Chains A and B, each alone.
Chain A
Amino acid sequence: MNGYIAFMKKEFTENMKNYRFIILFAVFLIFSIMSAFLAKFTPEILSALAADMEMTSEPVALDAWKQFYKNISGVGFSAFIILFGSCLSNEYSKGTLVLMVTKGLSRKAVILAKYTVAATLMTISYWIGYAATYGYTSLLWNDSNLSNVVLAAGSLWIVGFLYLSILMIGCVIFKQTFTSILFTGGIVAIISLLGMIEPIAKFNPFILTSKNVDLISGEAVPAEFVIPAFISIILSIFGLLIAIRLFNKKQL
């Protein structure tokens, strides 16, 4: 426990000092703010550029959320995975972990501390980004007859933990940052491909990243999200346990 807390403090400091958190935070915030503005002003920009183009419909608040989910599930989480893809490989290549582990720091504590810190920083960035989109959306549009806005955001957030668990396994298995990221990307791609197979699609955590907008617009109901969310959480915990198990057998 001592080791876990001490190493967690070290991880926090490190993510501040090497600008990982600042970059992650900036990416989430910029893309969140942009979501609302782009949705609002894209038609005007387009008509300014091409005068003969007529926009058939006025942008609505839902368009802002469409942008938000596209940006965060794409760019935001990609940035998250790329930034934290080096969280173990740096320590392997430099040999800094050896001194910690030979002091009696348990390997479990190393993985748990890294996971906790990465998850916390992602959570902070994510929800501040969410708040920014929410704030600007309600500023730019007065019609707020959208439902389950928080629930939709929460479901994507849950997937963030799953991505991080997969990344941790990748980081433990591979010594290079690039391969860990590639591994995570590959597994995520497999999950989304499985989302197309009809009979099991309704259990797939992929729903949590693809149907958020439907939930807000009322085309989907919260009940559809319960099982995928549950499965996502179970898989995250399971993934983390696998990462710890593999790390215990890793030759440092």
Chain B
Amino acid sequence: MNILTIQNLSKSFGKQKIIDTLNLSVPEGSVFGFIGKNGAGKTTTMKMVLGLLQPDNGEIYVCNEPVFFGQTRTNQYIGYLPDVPEFYNYMTPIQYLKLCGEVIGLSKSEISKRSDELLSLVSLNGATKQIGGFSRGMKQRLGIAQALLTQPKLLICDEPTSALDPVGRKEILDILYKISGTTTVLFSTHILSDVERICDHAAFLNEGKIAVTGTLAEIKALHGHDSLILEFSADKDLQFFKKQKSIEPLLLHSEENNRELILHSRDMVNVQKSLFRVLAETGICPVKIELMEPSLESLFLEVVK
């Protein structure tokens, strides 16, 4: 089942079309990476899912219920963490969670039970000072706690790690990974290593559309090809190597860079077989042979090209 479905969503600001007939489904139970460069429209999309922005066109369904702009019904299924969460500075974390709990309509005992659990999940159980004095990382962690207070089916995080130092980032990712068993997580980012670390699904947003989507393995298999780098000690070796008959077909998908030759193929085993045969026959000794796995980064660059 899909927890979030977006159909033909469009949104313009003035003459600039930010989102252009976007389609996206987030399956239940997944950790979904929503990838796009800065200004691609990730935040805009998320705000429309939350009913904070009015779409020009298209439908959004959360748990099979339609989202209406300005209404908050579907938000009961969603926990939201904005990129820079802001709280009422004069409150302590406990007071803030109490306010949130009362807004949702939880009982007193339920609020204090969940607050304790969540604050220890995000390691803020000892923090009794006012939120105004919090670091960014602490605010981000409190942001996760408040988002989870409703026990949402879907947690939406907008670039939760972008503004944090390595320690803060690791903490946030660990927390997201911890809760992924019970909650579907959709998080936007442009940090690809974060996606590779915790996501099982991903979508690339480019020019207002989803360019690629699926499980990480699917995406890599579909769109990435393996590459092989060959570095020669001299240019004449490279030229000589390229003239060999059995190498010529491989050069169709290749790049040349100084004394380096990069071969792309989906069938790396056969490439290697003919490559090593040629090297043995001609006696050319490259200085480096390296097999490169497809990375999200190369995919990302390919998609946004």
Q: What is A's interface to B at a CB cutoff of 8 Å?
A: 2-3, 5-7, 9-10, 13-14, 17-18, 94-96, 98-107, 248-252
* B76 adjacent to A6 (CB under 8 Å): no
Chain B 75-108 near chain A by CB (<8 Å), digits 1 or 0: 1101010101111101100000001101111000
* B146 adjacent to A99 (CB under 8 Å): yes
Q: What is B's interface to A at a CB cutoff of 8 Å?
A: 50, 52-54, 69-70, 72-73, 75-76, 78, 80, 82, 84-88, 90-91, 99-100, 102-105, 143, 146, 149-150
Check A103/B150 contact, CB under 8 A, given A2-B104, A98-B82.
Answer: yes
Q: Lowest 9 CB-CB distances: which A-B pairs, in order?
A: A6-B102, A2-B105, A102-B80, A17-B90, A94-B86, A248-B70, A105-B103, A95-B86, A3-B103
Measured between beta carbons, the chain A residues less than 8 angstroms from B86 are: 94-96, 99
* B99 adjacent to A102 (CB under 8 Å): no
- Cross-interface CB contact of A99 among B76, B80, B90, cutoff 8 Å: B80
Interface of B is mostly: loop
Q: Which residue of B lies closest to A100 (CB)?
A: B103
* A251 adjacent to B103 (CB under 8 Å): no
* B52 adjacent to A102 (CB under 8 Å): yes
Interface of A is mostly: helix
* B90 adjacent to A103 (CB under 8 Å): no
Check A98/B103 contact, CB under 8 A, given A104-B75, A105-B72.
Answer: no
28 intermolecular pairs with C-beta atoms under 8 Å apart: A2-B102, A2-B104, A3-B102, A3-B103, A6-B99, A6-B102, A13-B90, A13-B91, A95-B82, A95-B85, A95-B86, A96-B87, A99-B85, A101-B72, A102-B50, A102-B72, A102-B75, A102-B78, A103-B150, A104-B75, A104-B104, A107-B70, A248-B70, A249-B54, A249-B69, A250-B70, A251-B52, A251-B53
Q: Which residue of A lies closest to B87 (CB)?
A: A96
Q: Which residue of B lies closest to A102 (CB)?
A: B80
* B72 adjacent to A99 (CB under 8 Å): no
Q: Chain B's nearest CB lies how many Å from the CB of A8?
A: 10
